[in-house]
């Protein structure tokens, strides 16, 4: 059974097997969690992402999918990049958000990862309401059959932490 742990802090400081990056589809870095992971992880992550773009992911990574690279200078072994959906008030994209968590856990299982740190995918610049994002994240992790022993939701501030605590 997977233990779910909540931490208010910096995802780039987590000593885990895999850190999940809320990436954009280009895989080439951006703002928020994505930018922080690329900055702290160093050029090895960007190089690995460029290699992915040169291969199978030439058009980028689709929303809801996940792929792994090295973690570079991070205290993790791998970074699992997943592209969350942009929130829409008129189009229910919750299945895509749930897919980000499921697919990241699938990739973690393929890697043999036992500990995985997730951010609150899509709740930053992509505008997903935090309470709903937390509910989808927790429900999806609970419902996913995985060998991962510990999932950490590493949350940037007290509001995110409170939303995930309520969902948990």
Catalytic residues: 34
In the sheet where 78-83 sits, what is the strand order?
A: 3-8, 150-155, 115-118, 18-23, 78-83, 66-70
Q: Please state, in angstroms and rounded to a whole number, the distance separating the CA atoms of residues 104 and 129.
A: 21
Q: Please state, in angstroms and rounded to a whole number, the distance separating the CA atoms of residues 162 and 168.
A: 10
Q: Please state, in angstroms and rounded to a whole number, the distance separating the CA atoms of residues 11 and 152.
A: 9
Residue 167, C-beta contacts closer than 8 angstroms, at least 6 positions apart: 131, 134, 135, 137, 138, 139
């Amino acid at each position: 059974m997977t233990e779910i742990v909540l931490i208010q802090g910096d995802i780039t400081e987590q000593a885990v097997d895999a850190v999940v990056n809320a990436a954009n589809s280009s895989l080439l870095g951006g703002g928020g969690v994505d930018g922080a992971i690329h900055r702290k992880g160093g050029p090895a992550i960007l190089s690995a992402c460029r290699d992915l773009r040169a291969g199978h992911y030439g058009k980028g990574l689709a929303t809801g999918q996940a792929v792994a690279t090295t973690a570079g200078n991070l205290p993790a072994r791998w970074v699992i990049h997943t592209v969350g959906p942009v929130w829409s008030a008129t189009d229910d994209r919750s299945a895509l958000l749930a897919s980000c968590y499921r697919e990241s856990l699938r990739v973690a299982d393929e890697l043999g990862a036992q500990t995985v740190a997730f951010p609150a995918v899509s709740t930053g610049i992509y505008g997903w309401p935090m309470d709903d994002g937390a509910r989808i994240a927790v429900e999806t992790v609970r419902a996913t059959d995985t060998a991962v022993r510990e999932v950490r939701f590493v949350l940037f501030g007290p509001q995110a932490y409170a939303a995930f605590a309520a969902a948990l």
